[in-house]
Chain A
Amino acid sequence: DTEVTQTPKHLVMGMTNKKSLKCEQHMGHRAMYWYKQKAKKPPELMFVYSYEKLSINESVPSRFSPECPNSSLLNLHLHALQPEDSALYLCASSQAGANEKLFFGSGTQLSVL
């Protein structure tokens, strides 16, 4: 299994809603990532977990809350988002250690109304 699975594929939420994005991989990878991608722009790094511990937070607003409950799962909890947070949210995983290629899921297309 070389897939990173993200759910849901599409999400529409209001600014007062609370929702969660989910990501799962069964490749035994111990590094997991969240990226945000706006249309016609490159993915922007948000968070990295290494061995289930938060390793990198790229100064992301607190309305985005990541969680890594185990080595296969990565969540992104969303609360009080703004319309400008509408984007494609990509999850990726890699082998532990530096200089390992990232495997990406297909993303969750989020629209904030």
Chain B
Amino acid sequence: GESVGLHLPTLSVQEGDNSIINCAYSNSASDYFIWYKQESGKGPQFIIDIRSNMDKRQGQRVTVLLNKTVKHLSLQIAATQPGDSAVYFCAENTTSGTYKYIFGTGTRLKVLA
């Protein structure tokens, strides 16, 4: 079946450093991607999205990069803060024109003081 992302890894970063979270997707036809942050006991929270006609999109302290050639998505967080500690998921719309959003396996980000 379709799959997005890798087995759940953990990324540990020092407070103030930049974080890069990666996601590999398998469906070359996917045309929309979203990054979510999920804290313990809460639902996923929208961070940033990108459409397949773009390579890069920036938000507040976050940047998403899309490399369609190798089907790779990354989320960069600048000046990582303790409040950034959470699990991060990428999600893709696997079937253009539908509501079928599939999540990757996620990455746990730990921010070290």
Interface residues of A (CB under 8 A from B): 4, 31, 33, 40-45, 48, 50, 55-56, 90, 92, 94, 98-99, 101-107
Count of B residues near A, CB < 8 Å? 28
Q: Which residues of B contact A106 (CB under 8 A)?
A: 41-43
Nearest-neighbor residue (CB-CB) of A4 within chain B = B43
**A98–B93 touching, CB < 8 Å:** yes
A98 and B41 contact, Cβ closer than 8 Å, known pairs A42-B103, A45-B101: no
**A94–B99 touching, CB < 8 Å:** yes
**B43–A105 touching, CB < 8 Å:** yes
Instruction: Verify if B31 is at the interface (C-beta below 8 Å from A).
Output: yes
Interface residues of B (CB under 8 A from A): 5, 8, 31-32, 34, 36, 41-46, 49, 51, 89, 91, 93, 96-106
Is chain A's binding surface mostly helix, strand, loop or mixed? strand
Partner of B99, one of A40, A98, A103: A98
